[in-house]
Amino acid sequence: MKKFTFAFTLIFISFCLSCSEEEDPSLYSDVDFFPLEVGNAWTYKNQFNQNSVNIQGTEIVSVNEKIQNKYGFTQTSDESVGVFSSMLSSGKVYKQNANQRIVLEGDYSIDLESELSNLEIPLQDMVLYDVNSSQGGIMSVSSGTFQQDINGFPVDFIFEISSVNKGFLTSKVINNMSYEDVFISEIQVSLSANVFIVFNTFTVLQKQKITSITNYYAKDIGLVKSEVKTKIIFEDIPEQLGIEIPDVDFNSSQEIETYLLSPNS
């Protein structure tokens, strides 16, 4: 009985050690989850669903410039550009601590339809991934305000953006291809809005989480999949504003098809 107990204890300890190794972020400290080099390019199959309309298309996202340590992207699409790739191309991406952390500075643009200008939410020092963060941990948080003119009235928007480490996968199959060592992150966007009209402040948008973006980054390849869900429910708009703001509800996805990377990446 004692021999059995001793053997069981050894097996249990070995199992715990193997589990802890799989979850230890230090195992990925030297892994490049997004190779950045001018000329690198990724081709995605994009899908966009809104108001019962389904749009599909192919998009090529490429690194087209490097200014100091910051990289810029361009998009080429036959019909449908991706939501996250549009965020990448709106600004610049840079790395910190070698390949361990990558940061985006840009904008998140949301089409409001009805001939209204797009909402332009600033993305400031938003961490796309941080391999040294713990699973479930917040990698970055930013908040602020911006003002947008709607039919001649300045509407004040308050936003909060956080990025979360959602853990690692040993492999993930996308378009019948298996990608090894995949880091998952989630970007969460919250928004509220008010407008001041004739000595009164009206709530245009109650504070709510409007967007979640789940991204998958594969070892030595980069972004292999992005899933976006956006839903914005506006309040009844005051008559003085003279315009209706329609609710927004769409889903979007990008899945990698091919990629071309420089040997120096």
Is 61 a residue whose pLDDT tops 90?
yes
Query: Are the beta carbons of 215 and 185 closer than 8 angstroms?
Result: yes
Q: What is the value of pTM for the model shown? A: 0.86
Q: What is the pLDDT of residue 206?
A: 96
Place of tokens 């230090």: 26
**Cα Rg of the chain (Å, integer):** 22
Amino acid identity for residue 53 in this structure: V
Q: What is the pLDDT of residue 237?
A: 77
Is 46 a residue whose pLDDT tops 90?
yes
Structure tokens at 156: 């004040």
DSSP H or E stretch at residue 13: helix 2-23
Amino acid identity for residue 180 in this structure: E
Lowest mean pLDDT among 17-21, 28-32, 122-126: 17-21
Give me the percent of the chain exceeding a pLDDT of 90: 67
Q: What is the pLDDT of residue 12?
A: 44
- The residue among 91, 133, 96 whose CA lies nearest residue 109 is 91
CA distance 172 to 119: 34
- The residue among 29, 57, 23, 55 whose CA lies nearest residue 43 is 57
Place of tokens 């389904």: 54
Is 254 a residue whose pLDDT tops 90?
yes
Tens digit of each residue's pLDDT (9 = 90 or more) over 66-121: 999 999 999 998 788 899 999 999 999 999 988 899 999 999 999 887 677 899 99
As beta bridge partners, residue 93 has 71, 104
Name the pLDDT band for 51 (thresholds 50, 70, 90): confident
Count Cα neighbours of 94 within 13 Å in the Cβ-side half-sphere: 13
Structure tokens at 49: 């669903």
Strand intervals (E) in 51-137:
53-67, 70-77, 92-96, 101-110, 119-130
Is 40 a residue whose pLDDT tops 60?
yes
Is 209 a residue whose pLDDT tops 50?
yes
Name the pLDDT band for 3 (thresholds 50, 70, 90): very low
As beta bridge partners, residue 106 has 123
DSSP 10: H
Burial of 33 (C-beta count, 10 Å sphere; 0-12/13-18/19+)? buried
Q: What is the pLDDT of residue 22?
A: 44
Mean pLDDT, residues 151-169: 93
CA distance 225 to 214: 8
Tens digit of each residue's pLDDT (9 = 90 or more) over 222-248: 999 999 999 999 988 777 777 788 899
Amino acid identity for residue 143 in this structure: S
Place of tokens 């810029």: 72
Mean pLDDT, residues 155-179: 95
User: What value does the mean pLDDT of the chain take?
Assistant: 87
